[in-house]
């Protein structure tokens, strides 16, 4: 997914395009030919070992097409793996009234504050503010390469293990819903769809990972899916 030539900065994001619905975008392909990450590599012990001795690897998606003419804003998200019998990844659905990415699926996280000592500190602070996740329940593993969005956010994914007995209290001003997706689902590229939008001089490509959660279809796409795709590449390397 190589960045294409710049487009007018007035287009802040695909989400702001009139009538744009990522669920209706054509599917270019599904990566079922790629190997899934083995279940044995998804245990807490294996994840700790992976980050303690990371492999040589190349992230697949690190720079979206730049749609804003400004310096990137530093931000972090928490890729929280909840240690249930089947490891699960904690995700949020953003409230509809937020000014950016409203209603979308996202990791807990946000922009860095001057008092944050590190990217991990930002992710932990934001996770506590957004979903009530206390740091005592979190074991940090490490970070993935920064992901720069088209809206000029330079996001560092912070990967962590979370104890299953944590108590979560989502902030209703930011979070409409909390849910979990099996780690094995996200680390299986048979669930990774490729999309494209090409119209009026704008060309964007992205991944989606739709997950059927009971009667709800959780549509994971854009930056969140891109960072999960990089996590897959890290785990598969």
Cα of first residue to Cα of last residue in the chain, in angstroms, is: 18
At 7, the pLDDT band (50, 70, 90 cuts) reads very low
Percentage, residues of the chain above pLDDT 90? 71
* Residues belonging to the chain: 237
* 105 pLDDT above the threshold of 70: yes
214 Cβ partners below 8 Å, 6+ apart? none
CB-based contact 231:186 (threshold 8 Å): yes
* This model's pTM is above 0.75: yes
CB-based contact 62:227 (threshold 8 Å): no
29 Cβ partners below 8 Å, 6+ apart? 193, 194
At 16, the pLDDT band (50, 70, 90 cuts) reads low
147 Cβ partners below 8 Å, 6+ apart? 61, 62, 63, 64, 154, 155, 156, 157, 223, 226, 227, 230
Report residue 195 as tokens: 């999309």
* 11 pLDDT above the threshold of 70: no
In this prediction, residue 6 carries a pLDDT of 35
Percentage, residues of the chain above pLDDT 70? 83
Burial of residue 53 (CB within 10 Å: 0-12, 13-18, 19+) is exposed
């Amino acid at each position: 997914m190589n960045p294409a030539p710049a487009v007018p900065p007035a287009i802040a994001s695909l989400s702001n395009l009139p009538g744009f619905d990522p669920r209706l975008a054509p599917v270019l392909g599904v990566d079922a030919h790629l190997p899934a990450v083995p279940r044995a590599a998804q245990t807490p012990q294996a994840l700790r070992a992976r980050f303690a001795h990371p492999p040589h690897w190349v992230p697949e998606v690190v720079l979206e097409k730049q749609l804003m003419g400004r310096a990137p804003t530093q931000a972090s998200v928490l890729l929280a793996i909840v240690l249930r019998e089947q490891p699960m990844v904690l995700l949020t659905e953003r409230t509809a009234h937020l000014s950016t990415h409203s209603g979308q699926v996202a990791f807990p996280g946000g922009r860095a504050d001057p008092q944050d000592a590190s990217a991990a500190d930002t992710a932990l602070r934001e996770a506590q503010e957004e979903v009530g996740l206390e740091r005592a329940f979190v074991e940090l593993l490490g970070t993935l390469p920064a992901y720069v969005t088209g809206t000029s956010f330079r996001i560092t994914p912070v990967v962590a293990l979370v104890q299953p007995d944590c108590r979560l209290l989502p902030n209703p001003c930011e979070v409409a819903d909390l849910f979990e997706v099996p780690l094995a689902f996200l680390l299986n590229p048979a669930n990774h769809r490729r999309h494209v939008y090409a119209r009026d001089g704008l060309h964007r490509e992205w991944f989606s990972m739709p997950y059927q959660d009971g009667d709800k279809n959780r549509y994971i796409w854009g930056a969140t899916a891109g960072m999960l795709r990089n996590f897959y590449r890290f785990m598969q390397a």
